[in-house]
Structure 1
Amino acid sequence: MPGANERALEKAKGLPADALILDLEDAVAPAAKQEARTRVCAAVAAGAYGRREVAIRVNGRDTPWHADDLRAAAQAGPDAVVVPKIGSPADVHAVERDLDAAGAPGHTLIWAMVETPIAMLRALEIAQASPRLAVLVMGTNDLANELRAQHVPGRAPLLTGLGLCLLAARASGKAILDGVYNDVRDAEGFAAECRQGRELGFDGKTLIHPGQVEPCNRAFSPSAEQLAEAAEIVRAWADAEAAGRGVVTVNGRMIENLHVDNARRLLAVDAAIAGRPRALR
């Protein structure tokens, strides 16, 4: 949500989103940077967004606004700061030092935007650079630009980078969010990209328009069929263990530990969704 737009920040209070990124970077003109910083930090400090995770996206380290953004964000104490153009562990360490120096509370984590070829190649090092770093955020627009690639259905030019970052996130135990979809009028294309992101393994997707929230929620939520199967797998596994059986089948399919772990994960996701405030469902 653009930090300089008071109406947008107010509208964000009613969006059924799990997390909000209040933006000081691309969505804010240079002349409005200071005003946006003040407005966003005041909203965060006031706890205006309930139980949603709230992050502040600061301007990049190579801009004249970065240092002031980071200091103000640290004092506001959001759930996270989103930092663009992270390309190395040294970038993460610098952000971490600056947050500590500004007195950021321990719960304010780093969400690192990875959006350059060098970031793709260093994704694992970046993900492991700091315990304060919790999320990798794909910057697919900038990545496509630097690759001189085209935005095409299926995102074939970006799949190598997406895969490298997914591997890094899973290897280091971090969450990872897919990049934005630019054409807010193309509902079919957006739904297809959400499906692809979930099939690849992303934990969620970053959005640029309120109209994208509900279809994204549907795409990343377990279906009724998946939940029914997951519950059946967990029950069958528990029954087999109680009976001392070493072989478990569900609907003719052999079940192993990995299937049970995935079933429990899906059920936990569904429980987390059910536990959200009613306005977020």
Structure 2
Amino acid sequence: MTEQSLFTPLRSVLYMPSSNERALEKAKSIACDGLILDLEDAVAPDAKPAARESACAAAASGDYGRRTVTIRVNGIGTEWHDADIAAAAHAGPSGVVVPKVNSADEVRSLVAALEKAGAPDHTRLWAMVETPEAIFNVRELAAASDRLAVLVMGTNDLVKELYAEHVPGRAPLLTSLSLSLLAARAAGIAILDGVYNDVKNDAGFLDECRQGREMGFDGKTLIHPGQVVPANEQFAPSEQAVEDARGMLAAWEDGKGSGVVTYQNKMVENLHVESAQRTLAIHEAIEALQDQ
């Protein structure tokens, strides 16, 4: 199995305020798959220029090892956006996260701005989906550019925009989450679930991770380091899933030419083989990260 190079695990992607030097330092030792060095919500207006410098220095440093390091800039139309985009492009992180991306035209405009500012090829666009307009446009948005690599659900803003409530099971958000998942899968890009706000509610967090994994999300954005380990566990294939995937593939290989293959009394078809291959590829990619 050599497909692991196709997968970059993003089980746990942690927001870190770029105005906090201690937080940036601490992030070097947190076992998350990815970091979002934040210039937006977590940073006061008068601290944004200094935070921009800190985030870009951190992203360019190479000090975060295996982690996927991104920078979240301020939104389109804000007074800081253009300078954020230019600085982030120069720093060359794995991704530039842009809040409240509402349309395919905005995706194309953001990509053009990154390229004009000299962003290297590995610096991809991550678009946050967090408004009703974005949900209505999400299929076209997700397919607007090859440089768009990840959709990030902004569930707090969606709840606000919908006049909804945060409730167990997230019934008010299921339509938005499902449409965004469909769009990401149709476009062949990754998608991250939104944050869970009650950092003291371990059971509630696990339930929401489980729901996100069952729906098909690649991982979850996080607001507290204590959420990293459980997110990593929830969004990784279980030992049983890995064992079943290996058994299914072995049965498939052994039964070539027989017309019908079964594993544990269940019929195995091409679609099951593809799912098993993906499970093993994710498992191997996670193991490779842990070995670094």
TM-score range, shorter chain: over 0.9
Check if 1:17 corresponds to 2:12.
no
Corresponding residue of 2:278? 265
CA drift of 1:277 comes to 4.0
Once the two structures are superposed, the pairs formed by residues 80-119 of structure 1 within 5 Å of their partners are 80-119=95-134
Separation in 2 of the partners of 1:149 and 1:3? 30
Check if 1:252 corresponds to 2:270.
no
Amino acid at match of 2:19: A
Corresponding residue of 1:230? 245
CA drift of 1:174 comes to 0.7
Corresponding residue of 2:58? 43
CA drift of 1:90 comes to 1.2
Q: Deviations over 1:155-204 (max 9, x none)?
A: 00000000000000011101000000001111000000000000000001
Separation in 2 of the partners of 1:43 and 1:20? 11
Separation in 1 of the partners of 2:43 and 2:189? 29
Q: Deviations over 1:88-140 (max 9, x none)?
A: 01111111111111111111000000000111111110001111000000000
CA drift of 1:278 comes to 4.4
Separation in 2 of the partners of 1:12 and 1:114? 25
Separation in 2 of the partners of 1:181 and 1:63? 26
Separation in 2 of the partners of 1:176 and 1:212? 18
Separation in 1 of the partners of 2:148 and 2:255? 40
Q: Given the two structures, how large is their TM-score scaled by the length of structure 2?
A: 0.94
Separation in 1 of the partners of 2:174 and 2:149? 22
Q: Which runs of 5+ in 1 are unaligned?
A: none
Corresponding pairs, count: 277
Amino acid at match of 2:133: I
Separation in 1 of the partners of 2:177 and 2:97? 19
Q: Which runs of 5+ in 2 are unaligned?
A: 1-15
2:41 aligned counterpart, secondary structure: coil
Which one has more relative contact order, counting CA pairs under 8 Å at least 6 apart?
A: 2
Q: Given the two structures, how large is their TM-score scaled by the length of structure 1?
A: 0.97
Corresponding residue of 1:135? 150
Corresponding residue of 1:147? 162
1:211 to 198, 219, 226: 226
Separation in 1 of the partners of 2:210 and 2:89? 35
Amino acid at match of 2:263: V
1:263 aligned counterpart, secondary structure: helix
Separation in 1 of the partners of 2:47 and 2:139? 35
Aligned Cα root-mean-square deviation (Å): 0.8
1:56 aligned counterpart, secondary structure: strand
CA drift of 1:46 comes to 1.5
Check if 1:5 corresponds to 2:53.
no
Corresponding residue of 2:287? 274
Separation in 1 of the partners of 2:137 and 2:223? 27
2:196 aligned counterpart, secondary structure: coil
Q: Percent identity?
A: 61
Amino acid at match of 1:29: A
Separation in 1 of the partners of 2:133 and 2:31? 35
